[in-house]
Amino acid sequence: MTRSVFVLLHGMFHGGWCWSRAAEILRARGHVVTTPTQTGLGERAHLLSPEITLSTFVEDIVQHLRFDDLKDVTLVGHSFGGAVLAGVADRASERLSRLVYLDGAILDSGETWFSRLPADVARDRAALAQSTSGGVSLPPAPAAFFGIREPEDTAFVEPRLTPHPYRTITTAVTLENPLWCGVPTSYIRCTDPVFRNAAGSCEKARTLGVPVSELATGHDAMVTAPLALAEMLIRIAQDG
């Protein structure tokens, strides 16, 4: 079996920690795996500030690829982590072999995460950020919001969720090249239950001709179905 290199990006309120189960499986099968945490989240929550934008998140990953000298990378973006993929491809496509959106937000040049949300959800998020932090961050959603049902999974996830830097969802990254820079791209849709906020991006993927695979688990697939997800990622990385 060919060894693949995976960089696994977390979504909103999460950190690299959320990938631990899937990462362990991938490493046991001989693959290289990193799980960076974006500025202001997880173990980097002490860096939370109103200055963090989507460009900060892109820079986090570009520098991670460069300083760890990672090449032929399958870059996986879960949920909000998907918003980073196009920006990273624009800056470091030579280090990437494939992009994978895991129920992820597909943003093109000039788009924001807010622009991909249903209007009522966007209004609610804006009001919540203002009322809880003066617009600096969004407070974490409960684990059930991410399709987590089992008590042991809730106990793993909920204490580790941290507020999300608000300006990352209202700022865009301007791309200097066509979307994805020719890097092959795939989409994984979680279907049990379907995550409403990802529906628009999944449809966008289909419209753009991106192959879509389905996984019968909740939105936090790396927690609720790590083995099935790991096997799907291996297949996509090696077979497309």
**Active site amino acids:** 79
DSSP summary character for residue 194 = B
183 by Cβ neighbours in 10 Å (0-12 / 13-18 / 19+) ranks as buried
119 by Cβ neighbours in 10 Å (0-12 / 13-18 / 19+) ranks as exposed
- Yes or no: say if 48 and 133 are a contact pair by the CB < 8 Å rule: no
- Yes or no: say if 160 and 17 are a contact pair by the CB < 8 Å rule: yes
First and final CA of the chain: distance in angstroms? 15
- Yes or no: say if 86 and 70 are a contact pair by the CB < 8 Å rule: no
Tokens of 200: 């628009």
Q: CA dist 23 to 17, 32, 80, 110, 172, Å?
A: 10, 9, 19, 32, 29
In 158-225, which residue ranges form alpha helices assigned H by DSSP? 167-170, 199-207, 221-224
Tokens of 135: 């617009």
Residue with tokens 């791309």: 175
